[in-house]
Amino acid sequence: MESMKQSNYNGFLWGAATSAFQIEGQVETDMTDWERRGKFRADGKDPRVGDAADHWRRWEEDFRLLRDLGVNSYRFSVEWARIEPEPGIYNQSALDQYGRMIDRLLEYGITPMVTLHHFTHPCWFQERSPWHHTRAIECYLRFVNKLSRCLLDRVPLVITLNEPLVWTLAAYGAGKFPPGEKNLRHLMTAFTNMLRAHREAYDLIKHNHPDTQVGIAHNFIAFKRAPSGIEMDRKVKRLIHHFYNSMILEAFRDNRVKVSFPLMLSYDAPIALDDKIDFWGVNYYYRLHVRFRLSIRQPFELLSLVRSSGEGKSDLGWEIYSRGLKKVCRWLASTGKPIYITENGIAAQDDSLRLRFIASHLEMLDEILREGHPVKGYYHWSLLDNYEWLEGTKARFGLYHVDFDNGYGRTLKPSGGFYRDHIKKHSVYLPATE
């Protein structure tokens, strides 16, 4: 049995994940501009990114921590605003440092997975080319072309977009991210444009580097109808599941972005994606229950019923539901594409809760692999405590504790030690791809 279990992990990528804006610091973006204008102030909160986790200055130290953790892959993003601070003008020193980072990972035997877009943009972007205009595609492709020529020749795994639907919901639905609109038509147009940008970036990268695998990281949520017994709860749950989890998958399959939500949204746009995606990245955190509401403006309510699973909740109130990870991977297996679990983690001051979270989700991963689903890697979110968008630095996701008040010192948490030991027990190492 042990040899069979070990064989499930042959060539498996064990990793940790981060995003540039959330850990690097020392950069001006559309988000820092948004912060200065007081746009994040809500519910008594006023999160400030500051130097984030000071990673831009401490990356060499942090990469040694990666090596000590025993991972054989690392997912990180490059900061567009740092690389292209003005339209068409590139910061060579930033490109050089990202190049050194990639080279150091390869030296350590750690396969880089690089995300090209993780929520943030240069300060000039929203005024000149917001995503609901097609100009955004041209700007993004100019950036990707630069990266393809300077950095991506030694990166085997590339994510063009991180959670494009989450970002458009925040930027055009809730209006909490720049450009801060509340316009469902613009939301869907922006989402469609982001998928078109992926298609063009895919062709560009594959032309220059045919062996590079190119995918998207999508946030999946396990939805369940509220335990009220009302049939409308079931119907609304199906609509939300389709919009949030299935719409993007069907767009690649059917060459259409299509959704219909009675009284709220009807959208149908052709898009020539032609299944141009090599793998799906799964960002999975929690489950939500769906309840019908008798309301034209918002005919549903999303609930975190934390007693339902019996696994507890995160500090952000998210229900822990480890079986949802297996459900998501089963859905995705029907696409025929390899799957990477590109984010899975928990905001928890109590590290014993994080340890239990990791253990339960890795148990699900073992079941997923025994069932034969094509999961090729697992990346815990996050390597470090970081800046968590609307929450600031109080929501702690890291395997390493960061002392934000006293010089940004890093300390491995017990949950990090547990993950390190699990990797050591289940790894069959392959050299990093150059």
Widest CA span of the chain, in angstroms? 60
**DSSP 8-state assignment for residue 153:** G
Distance CA 280, CA 90 (A): 30
Other Cβ atoms less than 10 A from the Cβ of 329: the count is 24
**Cα-Cα end-to-end distance for the chain:** 34
Q: What are phi and psi of 172, to 5 degrees?
A: -120, -10
User: Has 163 been annotated as catalytic?
Assistant: yes
Q: From the candidates 163, 181, 319, 343, which is the catalytic residue?
A: 163
From residue 195, how far is each of 149, 235, 241, 325, 405 by CA, in Å?
A: 22, 27, 19, 24, 40
3-state secondary structure 116-147: CCCCCCCCCHHHHCCCCCCHHHHHHHHHHHHH
Q: What is the CA radius of gyration of the chain?
A: 21
Amino acid at 424: K
Cα atoms in the 13 Å half-sphere on the side-chain side of 300: 24
- Identify the three-state secondary structure at position 43: coil
Catalytically annotated residues: 163
